[in-house]
Amino acid sequence: MRTISLIVLLFLPSLLAPPAEAQDVAAGERVWNKCKPCHQVGENAKNMVGPVLNGLFGRHSGSIPSFSYTDANKNSGIVWDEAVFAEYIKDPKAKIPGTKMTFVGLKSDQEIKDVTAFLKQYGADGKKQ
């Protein structure tokens, strides 16, 4: 009986906790609509108001050669990963003071996870991986 009680005590919190929401590429594509006015992804993507976001994760901030970045972006020292991107996309101007990105940010953690999954599909060549 003691063993059963111990097992229940150890696992009960995880059984009662709401399930963690997984990244959803389809939902991320819908969130991407907020980004599309300024950014592109895919094989024929071009820089617009913002740079192409192909191959974003693992890339240094301010490193697309044909885009005119602010010194703040070029000198930020950021290498994009999921955690840095999540912090940035919540409030770009707070993460990189001096950036010209005027987007107010995504406030929903789930939207950030989903758009991250959507972006991670695209390699540096713009092809879906």
Record the pTM: 0.81
Answer whether 114's CB lies under 8 Å from 31's CB. Answer: yes
**pLDDT tens digits along 98-127:** 999 999 999 999 999 999 999 999 999 999
| Mean predicted confidence (pLDDT) in 45-62 | 98
- 19-120 topology per CATH: Cytochrome Bc1 Complex; Chain D, domain 2 (1.10.760)
pLDDT at 8: 39
Q: What is the C-alpha R_g of the chain?
A: 19
**pLDDT tens digits along 19-47:** 445 789 999 999 999 999 999 999 999 99
Q: In the chain, where are the structural domains located?
A: 19-120
Task: Tally Cβ neighbours within 10 Å of residue 95.
Answer: 19
